[in-house]
Structure 1
Amino acid sequence: MGISDTSTGILKGLVVIAAVFIVLAGLKTATNILVPFLLSVFIAVICNPLIAKASEYKIPKALSVTLVIVLFLAIALSIAGLVGNSLNELSQQLPQYRTQLNEEFAWVTNKLAEYNIAISSAVLIEYFDPAAAMGLAADMLSGLGGVMANLFLIIITVVFMLFEASSLPKKLHYALDDPEMRLSQIDRFLQSVNHYLAIKTVVSIGTGVAVSLMLWVIGLDFFLLWGVLAFLLNYIPNIGSIIAAVPAMSLAILQLGPAAAGGIGLGYMVINTVMGNMIEPRFMGRGLGLSTLVVFLSLIFWGWLFGTVGMLLSVPLTMIIKIGLESSEEGRWFAIMLSSDDDVEKYHTAK
């Protein structure tokens, strides 16, 4: 009997593992469809509080939805235009930066030759190509640009979601077995996501503005582009701010020299320390409820599954899974494992 139970348990475990891999393979295959849909959902979640606030002032829903969508389009297209124009100018100026780099490397190799150290400048250039250094920023932005190609589909989906949002609680009330508990969980999720995105957006804007001002004072070209990049990549937990510094420092080496690049790197470090380690943690704990390790691992997982957009949405997507697991006794233990220390105490108190 014991052996039979053990065999049954192992078989069930294997079936669950196989099912997980099948689901992941399906999600990976359907990325082109799922990514625009996920973006639509989260844009609608962000915009819906504005629509609800407008309804309190007796503003017709059609008008409020139109105004919110126009505002979103204006911001999105402005950022896209700035990034596109800056990248085009950057590609045109790369030959000039290469020429300057050749001169600097020639000076270095000549100095080394005085000490009987023979290094070819061509070898140095091969390992430090400005185009390759700038490619990091281009690849990250192109991932978002690919999503922008579906902008019309995303906007239409968001519009329909915003019009349907007011009737969703009523539908869920009739559809769910325990509507009061389920609706409270959904409401908690929406509040958590809105709180997280609000904090992250404010911190990201502050980071982008601080980076732009710092680079403008130093005199680095395309300082607005690097500020926008810092703003966007700050949504990626843990490593986004580090990635944002690489292209700007690479350009600084070409344009201003290694000393200025080191100063820019130090400036990025100070900005990210203040914004990410001092200001953001003061408020983020209430909005996340996830451990730092889980945030980092979710970044890797969702980035692998959905690319750049998955990295940007890694935290909200993980929060959905955590809140869903909390609703069942079987999954509650896993939700606890995903939780931060403060949330674990809440589970203990609830018992």
Structure 2
Amino acid sequence: MAKPIVTLSGLKIVIMLGMLVIIMAGVKIAADMIVPFILAMFIAVILNPLIRRLERLRVPRVLAISLVVVAIVMLMALLLAYLGTSLNELARTLPQYRSSLITPLQAIEPWLQRAGITVSVDELVKYIDPNAAMTLVSSLITQLSNAMTSVFLLLLTVVFMLFEVPQLPLKLQQLMSRPAEGMGAIQRALDSVSQYLVLKTAISLVTGLIVWVMLAALDVRFAFVWGLLAFSLNYIPNIGSVLAAIPPVAQVLVFGGLYDALIVVAGYLAINLVFGNIIEPRIMGRGLGLSTLVVFLSLIFWGWLLGPVGMLLSVPLTIVVKIGLEQSEGGKGIAVLLSDMSKAQR
């Protein structure tokens, strides 16, 4: 009797891959609804240790949540007001960039000609349209003013999640067939994600402050904006710090010249070297349990699936997926592929 062409295990794999594709397609379509929920959930994970610490100081949970949320609202109001002012000033100065770009381009032109690249500065300047950049900045200002409603709803979701935390373990235990193993995996995921997010937030905050102080000391305009950008993009692994350095370096190159731009580049390199290669690995301990390649690929995958928020939360999302895969026999092999075996063997 002839053997079947498609085995049962092969058919099972095909069905699972088909279900995975359908789920990812659904998540991508519903990203506008899913992303705020995921963001609120991770914000609640960051704030919950602070709430628990206030509870240990005999502060009622309701009052602790209220104090933390009020402090966040006041801080965000101050940041948005200052950021809006800085962006308005940036929009007014953008027309100066076109005339200021001519000098550095003329300085680079002989080098390009020696390399065999023929470039006309006059023709190149015609393609530089400051109106496009002004439109972008204006849209950012409009989005900031319209974002208050979304931020309010996001904070409400965070508040309700924080209120739900004490009752959540009991509810989850009622849904599980093996409560002990399931709650252990959930607690391990929460501990890993909470530790990563709290430490990453602290490191990003210090990084943003140092960048702000450095640029202000070098008399670089919009130092606060670039410091806030460094804080935000520091959550993105591998490439976030590089992306945060591009706008201020380009600005200094146009208005200050090559020497000043090299000083700014050296400052960013020193900050990223100290925090990225020395301080952060020591604070994070033995690591996240993820290989470097997986961290980079997760950045691409979650960014494609969930947009910019997915890039910011790519590492904690991958940690959750990895721990979830470890709980099933079929997923343990994939979890091993995601792991960093070099750190596990130390």
The two structures have a TM-score, normalised by structure 2, of 0.88
Q: Secondary structure at the match of 1:220?
A: coil
CA shift, 1:258, in A, is: 1.9
Equivalent residue runs for 1:227-266 within 5 Å = 227-266=227-266
Pair 1:33 & 2:33 matched: yes
Q: 1:108 offset after TM fit, Å?
A: 6.7
2:51–2:64 contact (8 Å) kept in structure 1: yes
Give, in angstroms, the shift of residue 234 of structure 1.
0.4
Q: Alpha-carbon deviation of 1:19?
A: 1.3
Displacement of 1:144 in angstroms is 9.1
CA distance in 1, matches of 2:298, 2:13: 23
The range that moved more, 190-199 or 158-167, is 190-199
Give 3-state SS (helix, strand or coil) of 1:237's partner. coil
Q: Which residue of 1 aligns with 2:268?
A: 268
Deviation, structure 1 residue 209: 1.9
Question: In structure 1, what is the equivalent of residue 99 of structure 2?
Answer: 99
Contact (CA 8 Å) 2:287, 2:343: kept in 1 or not? no
Report the Cα distance in structure 2 between the residues aligned to 1:256 and 1:142, rounded to whole angstroms: 30
Are the equivalent residues in 2 in contact too, given 1:143–1:309 (CA < 8 A)?
A: no
Q: 1:144 to 1:274 in 2, by over 3 A?
A: farther
SS of 1:265's equivalent in the other structure is helix
Letter in 2 for 1:222: F
CA 1:107–1:171 in structure 2 vs 1: closer, same or farther (change >3 Å)?
closer
Match of 1:349 in 2: none
TM-score by length of 1: 0.87
Distance in 2 separating the partners of 1:69 and 1:181:
34
In structure 2, the partner of 1:154 is 154
Unaligned runs of 5+ in 2: none
Equivalent-residue separation in structure 1 for 2:140 and 2:185 (angstroms): 34
Q: Residues 335 and 92 of structure 1: is their aligned pair in 2 closer, same or farther, counting only changes over 3 Å?
A: same
Contact 1:133 1:247 in 2 (8 A): no
User: Match of 1:314?
Assistant: 314
Residue type at the aligned position of 1:37? F
Distance 1:141 1:336, change over 3 A: farther
Query: Would you say the 8 A contact 1:173–1:179 is kept in 2?
Result: yes
- Residues of 1 paired with 2:261 and 2:310: CA distance? 31
Aligned to 1:327: 327
2:76 counterpart letter in structure 1: A
Give the Cα separation in 2 of the matches to 1:274 and 1:289: 22
Alpha carbons of structure 1 residues 280 and 303: separation in structure 2 relative to 1, 3 Å: same
Contact 1:208 1:228 in 2 (8 A): yes
3-state SS, counterpart of residue 4 of structure 2: helix
Distance 2:254 2:198 in 1: 37
Q: Which deviations, in whole Å up to 9, do the C-alpha atoms of 1:27-51 show, x marking residues without a partner? A: 0010110011001101111111222
Query: Does the 8 A contact of 1:233 with 1:240 survive in 2?
Result: yes
CA contact (8 A) 2:94 2:133 kept: no
Residues 207, 230 of structure 2: 8 Å contact kept = yes
CA RMSD of aligned residues (A): 3.2
Which structure: greater helix fraction? 1
- Distance in 2, matches of 1:82 and 1:323, equals 41
